[in-house]
Structure 1
Amino acid sequence: MTTPSTTSSGSGGVTGAGSSGSPRSGLPGQRGSDAPKRGTAKSANDPRPREITVGFLVGRLIALGLVAALLLFGLPPLIRTDNWIGVGVLVAAGAGIAYLYLSRRHIPLKYLLPGTVFLVVFQLVPVILTVSTAFTNFGDGHRGTKEEAITAIRTGSLEQVAGAASYNLSPAVKDGKLVFLLVPVDDKGEPLLAQAKVGTQDGLTDLPGLTDANLSLTKQLSEVPGYDILSKPDASARADEIANFAVPTGQGAIKSSGLSKAVELMSVRNYDAGCDCVTDTKTGTVYTADEAKGYFVGADGTVLSGGQGWKVGVGWANFSRIFTDKTVSGNFFSVFVWNVVFALLSVLTTFALGLVCALALHSPRMRGTKIYRTILILPYAMPSFAMLLVWRDMFNKDFGLINNLFGWHIDWLG
């Protein structure tokens, strides 16, 4: 009996049955022609590299352009108010966003940044502002700066004094903005065209070159080059705007008296930066600024009438009032206890009721569980308050959906 040979002549290598004599690929320590080369193998599960197309680049640039436009939109108000910290934050934010989304690095941060920005803007910033406000006297009469309070005091004390100038008024529009065309009148009511002025919210400027040809029969300006004078119907339609319009002057303002006259009003309360005080010219009383209270206070402790002040820091005074001011402490603790008790009970009672319902509906002996579960979900999907408004509007007698649909006039709600 002969046995199959397992050796190859001249080589001494061991080959398996059916082998052509070449080494078997895939065995440890062997390098066959079919073995993958080191560093070039790719798994079928490896992600394919993303192809950057022209449309993708254009879309990214448009999105970044919109973000940059929003940031630039916020710069002018910050610059006008000298808020250089805000300017720096906006510029840094714009540079950071551009760098992040124009580079291929920091992939996780590209997804985290939008949510983080909204979290900071809508959650963190309101909390910080609320907490900081608690340490100020912010409230009625204390909502703005000291400069704004001084302006409000001056404009709020305007009165017509003896000898004040009066004008023939012609309301007009230039570049879409309301202006006053003012012609002073003498003691006889005759217009002084050589002294005509243009009044804007920034002040007075000269209006030269006027002649009698620019006047109407009522001695009002009827035509001025560069200005659209309002007709009486148009002026009547804007009567409220004209009445509230004021042209600032050195010690007061010019305001309308009707639609065809204007008078110069003088402020009877003037601020003096030297003494940091407001003087009432009618009574002679001097009110000195009290930076601790944010008020102008007289020598006898009287606060300037009108209650106009400015916002200042008061430290822990608002918190100490809880314990020292009976008008606050009398109701504060009862309200605080009720809020805590209500929060605890609303959570515990709803949890207990929900747990009981869940256990009952989970029982295999309970029938119609799907119907019960649907009924329990409805109050959460459709709040009762919203449903009441919907039903009220649906059955409204005059504008309700039901009556309009069928042409009825039924008073469904009585």
Structure 2
Amino acid sequence: MEAVQKVQSPMTWLAWGLVGLIDLILLYGVTLMYAQEEIAFALTILLIVCTGTWVFISNKGYNYRYVFPALLGVSIFIVFPLIYTVNVAFTNYSSSHLLPLERVKKHHLNKTYKTEGESYNFKVYQQGDDYRLLFISNKETNKHLISSPFNELSIPAPLKADFSPDLPDGKELPFRDTIKLRQTLKKLIVQLPDNSELSLTSLRKFGPMSKLYRDIGHDTLEDVRSGHLLKPDYATGFYIEVSEGQPISAGKQMGPGFVIYNGWSNFVRVLKDPGIQGPFLQIFTWTLIFAGLSVFFTLVIGLLMACLVQWEPLKGNGAYRLLLILPYAVPAFISILIFRGLFNQNFGEINMLLNLLFGAQPEWFSNEFLAKTMVVLVNTWLGYPYMMILSIGLLKSIPDDLYEASAIDGASPVQNFLSITLPMIIKPLTPLLIASFAFNFNNLVLIALLTDGAPNIIGATTPAGATDILVSYTFRIAFGQYGQDYGLASAIATFIFIMVGVIAWVNLKATKRVLE
């Protein structure tokens, strides 16, 4: 027993050391996140570190060691993004409101303006790791202003400068090396003997600069030139410039905006704003129709092709099977882009052929019905090989004795299909059909590459198209070229999550009944 303990003891210490090393790395990451004011992420990582450490070093947590990685993955990649999305849905987070209030306030406080006074050309001298600035005055030709030493890691605030007849110690940096220090030079505030201050105004000059705003408390800023006040408006998420005594509603918005919690505002917009509610319901209905039609047509064509390639009198089954699987082998985005060219209304081969045969050139991307028809056709082409492969495997599992017995009874092929083939494959095929429905419900790539949602829905106040499905509609609101409204997109994503959850629950119930 003692020998076993001696053998296990070094391994135990090694395991504890490894856990400790991982904890130190993660805690360093938590510190960096906290320093960057990412409080939510820092607390999440800290909770994971504490929980994981307890699981792997505590005897009581021994039973959770093997499920902890799976639970951790679910928490990080599913639960946390879901919670974060719902949280964003209650804010005005958008391309106009990206920063918290403190950072927007700091942005305004850092604004400067050029004041009256002399500007100085400058040179940089280096001695070891320290630098000094030589300011060349146009008035004092026999004297120079020389700054106190500074380096990239330690910048005095302010940096003092005094007159001196001598040049600074060290070597003068060439202009190309001075340019490399521009980020450090931008941070310098140089105080002259008369207490005036200089800041970098160009790559070759320092000039008299002053702060445009000063903080007077309660997150209110004052313009030092005009006396106007800059007050935060917590209703709109902007600083508002107003005169003394003027109501905030009469002021002028000053960007950038800051993030605020606006309650149920985004959810109310989805439910009550006609420019969002109408397109949302229209897109939701089309999403269900699109996913359902895709599953139906791919199943019908895939099953038909599977029956044909397994038909014994047909010669060269292997070649036909190979050719029919090719659409599945080609990357989807390549096939979609090829079809986009084929369906081009002016130069596409499909319209050229239809024009030659019937004198017609359908507007595939402008007409709502034709655009939806095109989307279903392309998706059927991309999806039927998958269903065919599944059906081939399921058909091979059906005993031949059943078909021989039906042949003796004089059954027709249609009767064989309805009475033998379909009942034998429907149970194992049902979960796969549900998975296919879920995939097409979120088929962003097809819509984004083929139509990008076109044609647009008239009257929509957000980017919305007739061929958009819910996921592409949300994507366009969040990352579209006409502005990004992450709060509204998150509210819609929350609705989608609820709807998908209800659909999944209904599907599971229906599947359970079918498989019973």
**Shorter-normalised TM range:** 0.5 to 0.7
Give the distance between the partners of 2:126 and 2:279, measured in 1 at CA: 56
Change in 2 beyond 3 A, CA 1:131/1:253? farther
Select the structure that is richer in helix.
2
In structure 2, distance between residues paired with 1:94 and 1:136: 29
Aligned in 2, Cα 1:231/1:139: closer, same or farther, shift over 3 Å?
same
My pick for the range that moved more, 77-86 or 281-290, is 77-86
Instruction: State the partner residue of 2:230.
Output: 287
Q: Is the 8 A contact 1:321 1:329 kept in 2?
A: yes
Secondary structure of the 1:74 match is helix
What TM-score does the superposition give when structure 2 sets the normalisation length? 0.50
* 2:124 corresponds to: 170
Query: Would you say 1:223 and 2:170 are equivalent positions?
Result: yes
8 Å CA contact 1:197–1:204 kept in 2: the answer is no
Instruction: Work out whether residues 120 and 135 of structure 2, in 8 Å CA contact, stay in contact via their aligned partners in 1.
Output: yes
Q: What secondary structure, in the 3-state scheme, does the structure 2 residue paired with 1:138 have?
A: coil
Instruction: Give the 3 Å change call, closer, same or farther, for CA 232–138 of structure 1 in structure 2.
Output: same
Deviates further, 193-202 or 309-318 = 193-202
Say if 2:271 is the partner of 1:271. no
How far is the alpha carbon of 1:321 from its aligned partner? 2.1
- Quote the Cα distance in structure 2 between the aligned partners of 1:55 and 1:112: 25
Would you say the 8 A contact 1:295–1:303 is kept in 2? Answer: no
Give the alignment partner of residue 115 of structure 2, picking from 158, 161, 165.
Answer: 161
Paired with 2:82 and 2:199, the residues of 1 have a C-alpha distance of 43
Partner of 1:256 in structure 2? 200
Separation (CA, whole Å) in 1 of partners of 2:82 and 2:251: 33
- List aligned pairs for 1:332-351, cutoff 5 A: 332-351=280-299
User: What are the superposed Cα offsets for residues 311-344 of structure 1, whole Å, 9 maximum, x if unpaired?
Assistant: 1100111122235445544644444443343333
* Alpha-carbon shift at residue 63 of structure 1 (Å): 4.8
Query: Deviations along 1:238-296, whole A, 9 cap, x unmatched?
Result: 387468x333689x99543443422242232333215x423334444323222232222
Q: Could you say which structure has the larger radius of gyration? A: 1
Letter of the 2:296 partner, please give it.
L
Which residue in 1 is equivalent to 2:139? 188
Q: Percent of counterpart pairs with the same letter?
A: 21
Aligned partners of 1:203 and 1:249 also within 8 Å: no
TM-score by length of 1: 0.61
Residues 182 and 198, structure 1, Cα contact 8 Å, conserved in 2:
no
Gaps of 5+ in 1: 1-48, 216-220, 390-414
Q: How does 1:379-394 map to 2 (within 5 A)?
A: 379-385=327-333
Kept in 1: contact 2:233–2:248 (CA 8 A) = no
Contact 1:145-1:310 at 8 Å conserved across structures: yes
- Residue 204 of structure 1: aligned partner: 157
Partner of 2:92: 137
Change (3 A) 1:106 1:383: same
Cα distance in 2 for partners of 1:55, 1:386 equals 56
Q: Corresponding residue for 1:4?
A: none
**SS of residue matched to 2:124:** strand
Alpha-carbon deviations, 1:353-386, whole Å to 9, x = none? Answer: 3233333334444444444444444444441436
The count of aligned residue pairs is 322
Q: CA deviation at 1:352?
A: 3.0
Cα contact 2:189–2:199 (8 A) shared by 1: no
Q: Report 1 or 2 for greater relative contact order, CA contacts < 8 Å, sequence distance ≥ 6.
A: 2
Say whether 1:234 aligns with 2:177.
yes
The secondary structure found in structure 1 opposite 2:66 is helix
What secondary structure sits across from 2:210 in the alignment? strand
165, 170, 187: which one pairs with 1:246? 187
Q: Secondary structure, in 3 states, of the residue corresponding to 1:159? A: strand
In structure 2, runs of 5+ residues without a counterpart are 338-516
Structure 2 residue identity aligned to 1:64 = V
CA distance in 1, matches of 2:182, 2:231: 35
- Give the root-mean-square deviation of aligned CA atoms: 4.4
User: Which residue matches 2:83?
Assistant: 128
